[in-house]
Amino acid sequence: MALTQVKSDSNSLMRPQPPAPVGVFDSGIGGLSILRALRAELPNERFIYLSDSAHAPYGERGDAFVNDRCFAITQQLREQHGIKALVIACNTATAAAIHNLRTAHPDLPLIGIEPAVKPAVALSQTRHIGVMATRGTADSTKFQTLLSHLQAQSQEPIRFTVQACDGLAAAIESQNATKIRALLADYTSAMGRFGNQKNDMDTLVLGCTHYALAIAPLRSLVGNAVQVVDNGPAVARQTRRLLASTHQLASCSAQHDEAGQTNAGTLQLLATGDSMALVNAAAHWL
C-alpha cells in the first residue's frame, strides 16, 4: 500500500524526469533507523521505504521465508518504482538473502547490513563485547563466521556475549513502551555485567535495526560508560561510496519539477500491513 502517491499526467513526458530513487526495506519500522542515517548522509537523494509489516518480524522466521520476501520486494521496487540501488535495512534479511539477490540482480547495487561487531572490536577496551540480535541473525552461519573471523584476527583474546532477543523487535514495532522496557531489562540482565572494569562488557552492538529505536531505555539499563554501536552511519557511507562509484549520486541542481521546486530529499513510504503505524513511526523518528 502506498502511503504517498506520485501523481502523473499526459504532460509528464515533456518534463525532465527526476533521478531514480534509492529503495530501502525492512520487515517493519526498524529500518527507519537506517533511513534516518541515509537521509543525513545523502540529502539530495530520493528514497522509497518499504515496510513489510504484514510479514514481520523477519528475525523469528525461517531463511526460506525471508529469502522469498526479499525477492518479491526487490522485484516490486524495481518494476514499479525503478530504483537505482537497494538498501536491505535488516540484518536477518541480509544474512538470508543478499548473496542470492546479487546473483539474481547483478546490475542492481545492493547494500546489506550486518551487526557492527568489527568497529566494536576497535572500540572495546575490556575486550568483552555484547551483541543483541534477533534469533535469525544470532543463529545465522554468516554471523557466526564473522565472529570467528574477528576472533582469529585479533592479536589479543576477545569475547563476544550474544543475546537472541525474542519478541523485542515486535514490541518496538507495536511501540509498546512497557513491554520494550521489560524485555530489555530481561535480556541485558541475562547477558551479564556492563561497565568499564575488567571482564565487563564495555561495548554493546545493536544487531537489529529496530533496537536503535529503543536506545533511551536501553541506555538507562546499561549505563553511560558503555559504548552502544549501531550500523546506520556506516551503511549510509557505504551507500554514498557505491552510488558515487556507479556515477549515480543525485545532485540538488538536477532535481526540479515543473514549478521549479526541488525534488531533492523526497521520501515515499510503502507498507504491506498497517500503513498508519508506519506513518506515525516515520513522523516520530524522521
| Residue numbers annotated as active site | 90, 208
* Residues whose CB is less than 8 angstroms from the CB of residue 143 and which lie 6 or more positions away in sequence, other chains included: 91, 95, 114, 115, 133, 137, 207
C-alpha cell at 33: 533507523
Place of cell 556515477: 247
Phi, psi dihedrals of residue 118, rounded to the nearest 5°: -65, -50
Residue type, 280: N
Could you tell me the end-to-end alpha-carbon distance of the chain, in angstroms, rounded to an integer? 20
Residues 273, 53: contact at Cβ < 8 Å? yes
C-alpha to C-alpha distance for 88 and 69, rounded to whole angstroms: 12
Residues 48, 270: contact at Cβ < 8 Å? yes
Residues 101, 56: contact at Cβ < 8 Å? no
Residues 126, 196: contact at Cβ < 8 Å? yes
DSSP class of residue 107?
T
Distance of CA 84 to the CA centre of its chain: 18
57 preceded by a cis bond (ω within 30 of 0): yes
